[in-house]
Amino acid sequence: MKSTKRVLALGMASVMTLGLLSACGNKPSSDNNNQASTLVVGDGNYDGKFSPFFYTSAYDGNIVSMVSQPLISSDREGAMILNGIEGETKEYNGTDYTYTGISDVVVTENEDGTVYYDITLKDGVKFSDGTEMDIDDVIFSMYVLSDPTYDGSSTLYGQPIMGMNEYRSGMDTKFNLILAAPRDNTDFSLWTEEEQTALWAAVDKAGPEYAKYICEYLIANGQNKAEDSVAACAANWNYPDLAEDATYEDFYQAMLAAYNGNPAEMARNESPSSLADFTNLIEDYDAYNVGVQTGESAPNISGIQKTSDNSVRVTTTEVSATCIYQLSLVVAPMHYYGNEELYNYENNQFGFPKGDLTIVREKNSKPMGAGPYEFVSYENGTVALKANENYWKGEPKIQNINFKETNEADKVNGVKSGTLDITDPSFSTDAIKEIAAANGGSEDFNGSVITVNTVDNLGYGYVGINADNVKVGDDGSSDASKNLRKGLATVLAVYRDVAIDSYYGKWANVINYPISDTSWAAPKVTDAGYQVAFSTDVNDNPIYTDGMSDEEKYAAAKQAALGFFEAAGYTVSDGKIVAAPQGAKMDYELIIGGGGQGDHPAFMMCTLASDALKEIGMELRVTDIANASDLFSQMQAGTAELFAAAWQATVDPDMYQIYHSQGTSNYNYDIKDAKLDEIIMDARSITDQEARTLMYKEALDIVMDWAVEVPIYQRANCFIFSTERIKIDTLTPDMTTYWNWMNDVELLELN
């Protein structure tokens, strides 16, 4: 039920976070005179699950990233590096960077539809205890993630890997089996009546807490405000029909009803990160998370084949564009997380008993890996790390790093006062003022006390236009209907710059395509065919010319809009529309969630556009909705005409959910285009990133031609650094959403 574009799926996020530790350049650090000083990082609250298999919070994931090494690395735009051993050089922001990793991957698409992923491991990579990594560690890690009882955030098991379903069949956990059975079940051949009664009681107790967890997640990620009701949060999670005074129990019951009363199925689909979001709240959950044999199953996964001492082949039955991301798994040391005596590849033994991950879970609080740092301790809210002298890119120059639990309100002051060296405050107007004050009033964010580095947020803001509600006649796909929407979109688009500058200043950018600028598939200004959104008239001529003042642009936009309206069938007289064609109207409504107070990045744009359209005879009523649940209920019901909202992006730019005619969120726009459907499906069926980029550009152009979405802004998040403590020129350059200060951390130095 949840919208996967609204929600950052931690499973994918974890792949990318851990995939970002590939360095620029492949020369190990030769300076062995490491500094004895300690770097202090202000982070969030930890759950204490630092296992690469089972961590659930992003903050625990930061620790995993520091001590672990992904099998496949990635670049500044989130793209996978398939030639990591020798390295790949890629241009970003006008600079060439070389990315290295611990593997090479050759992807072969076969005539029978199967796909080979041949992975070769780099020689000489060691874990922090000095043990050399080998391909058996890779296979062990894959089998942990594929076990029938695995309940972490990875979804490797969901990929079409040959033999995966056969391996996982015939076994399930007591947890799943009990909850899939009726509450009044009387068949106790696989579990006892006492176990059944106790589990249901624990689940019922955890349910409202789980609903509360989702609400807190939405608030923390900026999708709801702290003062929003449970109903408002539920609406943002695609449950718009709750009463205004709904409780967490009501929210939980609504989710449960959507999955026929099965809490396990509900949690697998609704959790922000993984099933563990729910199971962490269940008393004595581990007692039920054991495998029970229910039928026959394969002894191995036929699509995971050891091809040599340092290589493995993964075979999928079909092309899956996201498979490469799931294969960027952490390579965990089998000798530490598993049992080497239980590993015999030829005899289908993979380092632990199938259906029992107890020995793997025992290390949840004490991770080990091949990352730049080694875990020391977690005490009193602080995770202590020390440099890994065996790190394959060279021992880090900073000997010790402490990650410290820090309240949001204390982050900026912590760097100012010297108790923190690095942190990531919410980039609010208040934070900006506080940073400027710390730097003596200077608005130069390369200040004497605090240095700021901004990265794009993984998402973007937009105004949507429903093609079925804003049309001419009965066909939302007709040229006339598109021209109607283009007229509205043209006037909205011309006010984007002034509105976003007013709300965010320089800490947000206007975007021109309905895709996050963080995506590798996002069109670049230098690309052939790149256009400013809605900047051409009905005859495809430029609306704006160089040197135009803002007022001249606003006038030109109104004139262009009249051209679109006239082409749509409106009667135009004396610079105004005076009559609408059949099926169209002279007035439309744009709903926006500004809390009833206009507090929304797009509010100024919408109101200015409304005033401008009124001057040419079109009424655009801007309705500021106080309760976000009302906005999303209209969107979901398909009754909204125009609406302002934001998407949270995912790493892979798959457009199926939103823009395919059968997509689960297509109701937002009601776009039905056979050519677009074909491109979306074709892009899903190949793994060539360059080819997919071209396909998505064509698809985005179709969406823009339909004029169902006006892309508005990409806002910034930030990291702040102590200028006094850190050698700023040793920070990795050109940070992005997918590439932050933890990349090249082995090169970072203190003053």
Q: Are residues 326 and 345 in the same domain?
A: yes
16 and 80 in a common domain? yes
Region for 731 from its dihedrals, namely left if φ exceeds 0, alpha if ψ lies in -120 to 50, beta otherwise? beta
**Residue 30 pLDDT:** 36
Q: Which of 374, 401, 434 is the last residue of a domain?
A: 374
Residue 398 corresponds to which tokens in the numbers above? 């900073």
Domain identity same for 250 and 146 = no
Would you state the pLDDT for residue 507? 83
Is residue 209, in this structure, part of any structural domain at all?
yes
Q: What is the SS3 string spanning 180-249?
A: HCCCCCCCCCCCCHHHHHHHHHHHHHHHHHHHHHHHHHHHHCCCCCCCCCHHHHHHCCCCCCCCCCCCHH
Q: Which tokens hold the place of 347?
A: 């005899």
- C-alpha to C-alpha distances, 381 to 54, 116, 375, 413, 719, nearest whole angstrom: 20, 44, 14, 18, 21
Write the DSSP symbol of residue 591: E
| Cβ atoms of residues 387 and 379 within 8 Å | no
User: For residue 524, what are its two tokens?
Assistant: 């670049």
**Of 276, 293, 310, the domain-final residue:** 293
In terms of domains, do 309 and 359 share one? yes
- Residue 153 resides in a domain: yes
Same domain, 348 and 211: no
499 close to 605: Cβ distance less than 8 angstroms: yes
How is residue 516 written in tokens?
């996050």
**366 inside domain:** yes
- Given a contact cutoff of 8 angstroms between Cβ atoms, the answer to whether 456 and 736 are in contact is yes
pLDDT at 27: 35
- The whole-angstrom distance between residue 103's C-alpha and the CA centroid of its chain comes to 24
Domain co-membership, 533 together with 550: yes
Residue 397 lies in a domain: no
CA pair distance 545, 540, nearest whole angstrom: 14
Cross-strand partners of 171: 293
Considering the domain architecture, whether residues 672 and 526 belong to the same structural domain is answered as yes
Please indicate, yes or no, whether residues 213 and 255 belong to a single structural domain of this protein.
yes
Q: Which residue has the tokens 């020689």?
A: 123
Please provide the DSSP assignment of 69-114 as one string: -BSSEE-TTS-EESBTTT-EEEEETTEEEEE--SEEEEEEE-TTS-
Beta-sheet pairing, 459-465 with 642-648: antiparallel
Strand, coil or helix: 252:
helix
- Whether residue 575 lies inside any domain: the answer is yes
* Run of H or E residues at 349: strand 349-350
With beta carbons less than 8 A apart as the criterion, state whether 278 and 203 touch.
Answer: no
How far separated are the first and last CA of the chain, in Å rounded?
A: 50
Alpha-carbon distance of 275 to 742, in angstroms, equals 28
Domain of 658, CATH number, reads: 3.10.105.10
| 511: its two tokens | 């975007």
Residue 89 and residue 185 share a domain: no
CATH number at residue 15: 3.90.76.10
Q: What three-state secondary structure class fits 451?
A: strand
Q: Is residue 50 part of a domain?
A: yes
Distances from the Cα of 443 to the Cαs of 446, 447, 448, 521, 718, in angstroms?
9, 8, 11, 33, 15
Total domain count for the chain?
A: 3
> What's the pLDDT at 22?
32
Considering only CA atoms, which of 636, 683, 725 is closest in space to residue 420?
Answer: 725
Q: Which amino acid is at 440?
A: G
Quick one: tokens of 273? 């990160």
- Report the run of H or E that residue 667 belongs to, with start and end: none
Tens-place pLDDT, residues 29-66:
334 334 448 999 999 889 899 999 998 788 999 999 99
Q: How far is the C-alpha of 263 from the C-alpha of 204, rounded, in Å?
A: 9
Distance CA 214, CA 200 (A): 21
| Predicted pLDDT of residue 631 | 82
Choosing from 293, 322, 348, the residue where a domain stops is 293
Is residue 496 domain-shared with residue 638, that is, in the same domain?
Answer: yes
The dihedral built from the CA positions of residue 142, 146, 152 and 154, taken in this order, carries a sign that is positive
* Average confidence (pLDDT) per 10 residues, the chain, 751 residues: 33 35 35 62 92 89 97 92 97 96 96 97 98 98 96 88 96 93 94 96 97 91 85 90 95 95 91 84 91 93 97 96 93 98 98 94 96 98 98 97 93 96 85 90 86 90 96 97 98 97 87 92 93 98 97 98 98 97 97 86 96 98 82 82 87 86 82 95 86 96 98 93 97 94 96 93
Same domain flag for 138 and 242: no
pLDDT of residue 629: 65
Helix axes 496-504, 479-494, angle to 10 degrees: 40
Within a domain: residue 744?
Answer: no
Quick one: 305 and 282 in the same domain?
no
Distance CA 307, CA 315 (A): 12
For 257, the domain range is 171-293
Q: How far apart are CA 281 and CA 209, in angstroms?
A: 7
Is residue 401, in this structure, part of any structural domain at all? no
Q: Give the whole-angstrom CA distance, residue 69 versus residue 126.
A: 10
